[in-house]
């Protein structure tokens, strides 16, 4: 597994077998709960939220956020279009994306 981004138990990683890049939640003892479909291209967080963006195979973009929980992985909200996400990000004061997948 290759970790690209991490905040506590939340991480963007490459699945070993398929090489898909997804958002996951580390459950301990090497287990990770997948929380998205591929391909995650950006992520960020603060003390309240984790945010991430997926690029679809069609080329479109979807945005998501997770309200952090003290115990457990939290619930994923989304997908949101870029315009809808912008309004939600402003309303909830969601964090910026601090990590971006480097495209070859």
pLDDT tens string, the chain, 104 residues long: the values are 899 999 999 999 999 889 999 999 999 898 999 999 999 999 999 999 999 999 999 999 999 999 998 888 899 999 999 999 999 999 999 999 999 999 76
Reduced to 3 DSSP states, what percent helix, strand and coil does the chain have, rounded to the nearest 5?
10, 50, 40
**Tell me, what's the pLDDT at 77?**
98
pLDDT value for 103: 75
In the prediction, which pLDDT does 54 show? 98
* Model pTM score: 0.93
pLDDT of residue 78: 98
- Residue 70, pLDDT score: 80
- Cα–Cα distance for residue pair 43/54, rounded to 1 Å: 9
Instruction: Tell me if 49 sits within 8 A of 65, measured CB to CB.
Output: yes
pLDDT at 16: 86
Classify the C-alpha dihedral 44-49-50-52 as positive or negative. Answer: negative
Q: Using CA atoms, how far apart are residues 97 and 81, in angstroms rounded to an integer?
A: 16
């Amino acid at each position: 597994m290759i970790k690209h981004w991490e905040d506590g138990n939340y991480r963007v990683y490459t699945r070993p077998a398929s090489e898909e890049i997804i958002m996951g939640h580390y459950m301990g003892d090497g287990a990770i709960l997948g929380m998205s479909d591929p391909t995650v291209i950006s992520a960020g967080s603060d003390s309240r939220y984790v945010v991430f963006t997926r690029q679809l195979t069609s080329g479109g973009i979807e945005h998501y956020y997770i309200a952090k929980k003290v115990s457990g992985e939290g619930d994923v909200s989304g997908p949101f279009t870029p315009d809808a996400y912008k309004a939600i990000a402003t309303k909830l004061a969601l964090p910026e994306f601090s990590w971006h997948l480097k495209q070859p």
